Amino acid sequence: MVLNKRLVIKVLCAVMTLVGVLMLLPCAVSLIYGEKHEALSFAVCAVPMALVGYLAFRSSKAPESNNLGLRDGFFIVGSAWMVLSLLGALPFMISGAIPNVCDAFFETASGFTTTGASILSGVEGLPKGILFWRSFTHWVGGMGILVLTIAMLPALGIGGQKIMRAETTGPSMDKITFTFNDTARSLYLIYSGMSLLETVLLMFCGMDLYDSLVYTFGTVGTGGFATMNNGLAGYSVSAQLVISVFMMLAGVNFNLYYLCLAKKPDQAVRDPELRCYLGITFGSTFFVMYMLIRAGMAAGLFDSFRLAYFQVASILTTTGYSTCDFDLWPLPCRIVLMLLMLVGGCASSTGGGMKVIRVMMGVKIAGRGVRKRLHPSVVDPVKIGGRIVPENVTRSVSEFLLLYLFILLAGTVLVSLEGADLMTSFSSVLACFSNIGPGFEAVGPTLNYGFYTGATKIFLSVLMIAGRLELFTVFLMFTPAFWSRK
């Protein structure tokens, strides 16, 4: 394999420097709350990381070319997310909050990939700075640490198109501005603006600044780490409603927000994926409402709507927050929630899962396959929103869906070797692979993944990263063709 090694090293050094700088924020939070030991733990990690990354970047030889190849982009993204999870785990281990390396790696990978799965049985006793960093990884990873790096790449003289292609979620990546670097900056401005708005609204709902920030990180990043063992059940109904609305907003394609800011809201409203996303959300909500009322598990229409809408939004957007133990709901409700785990959010959102657009295409492809049995010679292109989908895209979607289901089944078999029941094994793999967090049975919303062995935790962590990077980015690195010189 021919990699632009010098350029790859430069970008990875820039990522390492950025992570070191970002760790200074939870360090400051620890100091504010008088947590000197935790502040020192962050400083011991942040300062050397930022200095080494910066000095290595400055001292590395100039690359022969500033253009990243496609393999360079895949290699940078795949390796960077592994390294990020290792570097981000250091404060947990050094502070003693999570001393075990496998547990710390699992928790950090879960944070950066916005999964929200945890090995911790009690979070309320953890230091404020540690909990802040734990949730801040959601915000950093939500839009993508490498997308943030891309926004700064012009200063390095490097183009970020190949990185953007390897990291962006969804079957295609549309530029919303003239260059990919401008696109990255625009997305982060929208992302930051949404975060600021939610923080302010949560403070109006009675949360203090600290909790408002922590839950904003988990909401906008669709992560789900909480500061309370009972999730959001202890907060006001108004705060729960604000979070449920912003979970839905975070699951929308961020390119549509740019269209609205560019005074093209009509194009955003006509987006077929958005309409399907809203249809799935409210259709599922009303079904769950009906089942809760029928089972006598809600006090009235508003209570049933609040419970149903919050959990549907949380699971569909792969955020993973909960206001109750949905594992106790009637079986039809749990089946709907499991199907929503598979679907996930929209393309180019912070959500995980297959993505709504791929599910739409999958249904269209299946329908075409049925029609072809009757009329094999008829030209029948797949259309989404009246536009013909190119055959290479439909083929890519079919390959993705097949690989996705294969990994779910193979992963379930591997995890079941630990002796867990079928539902626990399947939902563990599904929840980690789709970046959701809570599953069912032994990994339900009130439980955690701490009972698994270190090997299984590492395996699930790799699944989180693979799911966050749309499968191919990670698995390509394990193929002989990727490392060949051709």
Cα–Cα distance, 174 to 187 (Å, whole number): 12
Q: What is the pLDDT of residue 171?
A: 59
Mean pLDDT by 10-residue block, N- to C-terminus, for the chain (486 residues)? Answer: 72 86 96 96 94 84 62 77 90 95 96 93 90 95 66 49 52 50 75 95 95 96 88 90 96 89 85 95 96 88 93 95 92 96 90 91 90 82 86 88 93 94 95 93 92 95 89 75 66
The CA R_g of the chain, rounded to the nearest whole Å, is 22
DSSP of 326-394? GGGS-HHHHHHHHHHHHH-S-TTSS--SS-HHHHHHHHHHHHHHHHHHH-TTS----EETTEEPPHHHH
Quick one: how many helices (H) and strands (E) in the chain? Answer: 22, 2
Q: What is the pLDDT of residue 148?
A: 58
SS3 assignment, position 128: helix
Please say whether the beta carbons of 159 and 68 come within 8 A: yes
**CA 450 to chain CA mean position, Å:** 21
- Name 168's Cβ contacts closer than 8 Å, sequence gap at least 6: 144, 147, 348
Q: Dihedrals φ, ψ of 387, to 5°?
A: -105, 135
What are residue 344's DSSP bridge partners? none
Please say whether the beta carbons of 175 and 207 come within 8 A: no
Cα–Cα distance, 23 to 42 (Å, whole number): 6
SS3 assignment, position 256: helix
Instruction: Determine the angle formed by the axes of helices 70-95 and 101-112, rounding to 10 degrees.
Output: 130
Q: pTM (2 decimals)?
A: 0.90
DSSP of 19-61? HHHHTHHHHHHHHHTT-HHHHHHHHHHHHHHHHHHHHHHHHSP
What are 346's two structure tokens? Answer: 């929209």
Q: Which of 224, 219, 221, 239 is nearest to 116 (CA)?
A: 224
Q: What is the pLDDT of residue 427?
A: 96
List the domain boundaries for the chain: 5-196
Cα–Cα distance, 283 to 60 (Å, whole number): 55
373-394: string of b/e by CB count within 10 Å (b at 16+)?
Answer: eeeeeeeeebebeeeebeeeeb
155-171: string of b/e by CB count within 10 Å (b at 16+)?
Answer: ebebbbbbbbbbbbbbb
Cα–Cα distance, 107 to 456 (Å, whole number): 13
Q: What is the pLDDT of residue 68?
A: 64
Please say whether the beta carbons of 389 and 383 come within 8 A: yes
What are residue 388's DSSP bridge partners? 383
Q: What is the pLDDT of residue 173?
A: 44
Q: What is the pLDDT of residue 308?
A: 96
Q: Which of 135, 298, 282 is nearest to 222 (CA)?
A: 135
Please say whether the beta carbons of 460 and 428 come within 8 A: yes
Q: What is the pLDDT of residue 380?
A: 83
What are residue 387's DSSP bridge partners? 384
What are 37's two structure tokens? Answer: 């030991």
Q: Which of 225, 222, 447 is nearest to 319 (CA)?
A: 222
